[in-house]
Structure 1
Amino acid sequence: MFEQVTQPEGSQIVIEVWSDLGCPWCYVGQHRLQAAIEQRPDSDRFDIRIRSFELNPSAPQEPETIEKAFIRAKGGSAIHVLQVERQAQAIAHGEDLEFSLDRLSANTFDLHRAVQYAGDQGRGVEFFSDVQDGYFAGTLNPYDSDTLADVAESVGLDGQRVSEILASNEYADRVRADRAEGLELGATGVPFVVLDRRVAAPGAQKVAGYGLLLEQVVGPVPIERVS
């Protein structure tokens, strides 16, 4: 589906990341992708954009435990859920990332609407990453509109505008369109990363894996000239 063409040196590269808040692999994958980019001396040429992809559009608005949400969506037992969570926690800790087992789960549609606004203002990655980091650390309630407004303010956005969006239905069509486009491009889950509309990567890759994907699009890490 994607044409394999190396981009000219110095050209701007858009990296689209279809993601959802409560996905542990999205959390880990986002940090790995950022690490891969930061390893390159030309890191400033990469423009990451968060795209909306609800994993469970039918999830309830009222927050519930991860255990209850997991069993309702996928079945299994409480023991199985705890095993899965602890495995994810170990992976996150291996990446020096916090991972609370006491998180709650709920519908993420409203958050995605706020992310759409943040993206329009050039702060989509910062806003989404701060919300997700706080969520997995267990220090932030992403389902509270006042909290999202505060995070927005912290990354240079208009918190009042975020509150207005969350109290309306703005950006709803954009959230649905993002998910539909992701599915059309081949996403069966998240994270789903598309680089320059030329290379696609499903699932959370290792840092080295993302590094190879960057090379597919822009070539090897440039050797800085020594004067």
Structure 2
Amino acid sequence: MIIEYLSDFNCPYSYIGLNRIISVCNDLNLDVEWEMKSFELEPKLTNIPSNSIERYAIKNGISVKDAERAIEEIEKIAQNEGIEMNYKNMQLVSSKDAHRIVKYLERYYPELTQKFVLKTFEYNFIKNENIADHDILIEITSSCGLDKNEIKEFLNKKTYSVEVDLDMDEAISNGISTTPYYFINYKDERLMIPGVFEKEAFKIAFEDLINGEMEKKTFL
């Protein structure tokens, strides 16, 4: 099975959804090849942190107080998944370089890609580190087993920036405007799942796909 997932490191639902799908794959004993597709929810963000609550309020056209309540609800959903998310104190910064590293790892160290992805989400939403900071990204990749100098040299270039942008352009051209979004490929079948579903719903969809009953299940 090949699972492509459109995701952003600044999206809490991308983190929650990925954990649910990984859990389902483990429950079903599936042999999975993963591929992350880049989608920067806010491509104009810089390396200077923005306040996550204020930014949420602006993006959704609500008050800061309502934004704080909404973020607390998202944190509760994550906590029910075993993720001690601290969204309200997250340093909201550009995710571009983190996406570039994913592209690099998929090309040269595919076995380490998922580990990096999950650790980057952890550093962002749990540890509240600045994931646009090259020192932080080097720390994450080093903890995954990569050479610090290799990643430092890579980050100092703009390699894979175009590929990151192309992922987003392709998604937008297909009518996708947010994350997460999943493409599940099994044998000759392809199931597309927009957004985050409950773990049980994901599991039923995967079982239907494996059992050849996908036509009875639609998410679109």
Matches within 5 A, 1:1-227: 13-41=1-29, 43=30, 45-100=31-86, 101-120=88-107, 121-122=109-110, 123-196=112-185, 198-219=190-211
User: How many angstroms apart in 1 are the aligned matches of 2:170 and 2:205?
Assistant: 21
Cα deviation for residue 139 of structure 1 reads 5.0
Partner letter of residue 158 of structure 2? N
Cα deviation for residue 63 of structure 1 reads 0.9
Cα deviation for residue 156 of structure 1 reads 2.2
| SS of match in other structure, 2:179 | coil
Cα deviation for residue 185 of structure 1 reads 4.1
Cα deviation for residue 166 of structure 1 reads 1.8
User: How many angstroms apart in 2 are the aligned matches of 1:183 and 1:158?
Assistant: 35
Please say if residues 36 and 210 of structure 1, whose CA atoms lie closer than 8 Å, have aligned partners that are also in contact. yes
Please say if residues 180 and 196 of structure 2, whose CA atoms lie closer than 8 Å, have aligned partners that are also in contact. yes
Structure 1 stretches lacking a partner, 5+ long: 1-12, 221-227
> Whose helix fraction is larger, Structure 1's or Structure 2's?
2
Cα deviation for residue 48 of structure 1 reads 1.7
C-alpha distance 153-60 of structure 1, shift in aligned 2 (>3 A): closer
What are the Cα deviations for residues 197-217 of structure 1, in whole angstroms up to 9, with x where unaligned? 711101111111221232233
Cα deviation for residue 165 of structure 1 reads 2.2
Give TM-score scaled by structure 1 length.
Answer: 0.84
Please say if residues 113 and 165 of structure 1, whose CA atoms lie closer than 8 Å, have aligned partners that are also in contact. no
Q: Name the count of aligned residue pairs.
A: 206
C-alpha distance 208-185 of structure 1, shift in aligned 2 (>3 A): farther
Partner letter of residue 85 of structure 2? F
C-alpha distance 219-183 of structure 1, shift in aligned 2 (>3 A): farther
Structure 2 stretches lacking a partner, 5+ long: 213-220
Please say if residues 116 and 171 of structure 1, whose CA atoms lie closer than 8 Å, have aligned partners that are also in contact. yes
Cα deviation for residue 186 of structure 1 reads 4.2
User: How many angstroms apart in 2 are the aligned matches of 1:110 and 1:72?
Assistant: 24
Cα deviation for residue 69 of structure 1 reads 2.2
Give TM-score scaled by structure 2 length.
Answer: 0.86
User: How many angstroms apart in 2 are the aligned matches of 1:92 and 1:36?
Assistant: 16
Cα deviation for residue 76 of structure 1 reads 2.1
Greater RCO (CA < 8 Å, at least 6 residues apart): 1
C-alpha distance 76-29 of structure 1, shift in aligned 2 (>3 A): same
